[in-house]
Amino acid sequence: MPLLGLAMLLAACAPAPYGPVPTEAQLRWQQMEYNMFVHFGPNTFSGLEWGEGTEPEDLFCPTELDCRQWAATAKAAGMKGIIITAKHHDGFCLWPNPESTHTVAQSIWRDGKGDVLAELADACREYGLGFGVYISPWDRNDPAYGTPEYNGKYIRTLQDVHGGRYGAIFEQWFDGACGEGPGGKRQEYDWPAFRQAVRELSPDAIMFSDIGPGCRWIGNERGIAGETNWSRLDTDGFSPGRGAPPTDTLNRGNVNGAEWIPGEADVSIRPGWFWRESENTRIKSVEELADIWLSSVGRNALLLLNVPPDTRGRIHEADSLRLMEFRDWRDRVFGTNLADGARIRRRSHSWELTLPEERLIDLVQLQEDISLGQRISSFRVDVWADDGWQLVADGTTIGYKRILPIDPVCTRRLRVTVTGALAPPHLSGVALYKNSPN
Residue 427, beta-bridge partner list: 368
Nearer to ligand FUL, 29 or 274 (CB): 274
The Cα–Cα gap between 234 and 228 comes to: 16
Please state the separation of Cα 178 from the chain's center in Å: 22
Backbone angles phi, psi at 172, to 5 degrees: -110, 120
**Is residue 177 near ligand FUL by the rule CB under 6 A?**
yes
**Is residue 275 near ligand FUL by the rule CB under 6 A?**
no
Cα–Cα distance list, 211 to 275, 313, 325, 401 (Å): 28, 32, 34, 21
Nearer to ligand FUL, 266 or 352 (CB): 266
Among residues 266, 279, 352, 382, the one that binds ligand FUL under rule CB under 6 A? 266
**Is residue 175 near ligand FUL by the rule CB under 6 A?**
yes
Nearer to ligand FUL, 21 or 177 (CB): 177
Instruction: Tell me which DSSP letter residue 307 carries.
Output: -
Among residues 127, 273, 293, 433, the one that binds ligand FUL under rule CB under 6 A? 273
Cβ atoms of 167 and 147 within 8 Å: the answer is no
**Is residue 154 near ligand FUL by the rule CB under 6 A?**
no
Residues in 397-426 at the binding interface with ligand FUL, rule: CB under 6 A: none
CB of 95 to ligand FUL, least distance (A): 18
Nearer to ligand FUL, 303 or 381 (CB): 303
Amino acid at 278: S
**Is residue 90 near ligand FUL by the rule CB under 6 A?**
no
The Cα–Cα gap between 303 and 225 comes to: 10
Residues in 23-82 at the binding interface with ligand FUL, rule: CB under 6 A: 49
Cβ atoms of 409 and 362 within 8 Å: the answer is yes
| Count of C-beta atoms within a 10 Å radius of residue 421 | 18
The Cα–Cα gap between 323 and 44 comes to: 20
**Is residue 279 near ligand FUL by the rule CB under 6 A?**
no
CB of 212 to ligand FUL, least distance (A): 16
Cβ atoms of 210 and 176 within 8 Å: the answer is yes
CB of 266 to ligand FUL, least distance (A): 5
Nearer to ligand FUL, 142 or 175 (CB): 175
Nearer to ligand FUL, 186 or 349 (CB): 186
Nearer to ligand FUL, 177 or 255 (CB): 177
The Cα–Cα gap between 397 and 263 comes to: 13
Cβ atoms of 173 and 133 within 8 Å: the answer is yes
Question: Site mask, ligand FUL, residues 338-357, x = CB under 6 A?
Answer: --------------------
Interface residues with ligand FUL (CB under 6 A) are 49, 175, 177, 266, 273
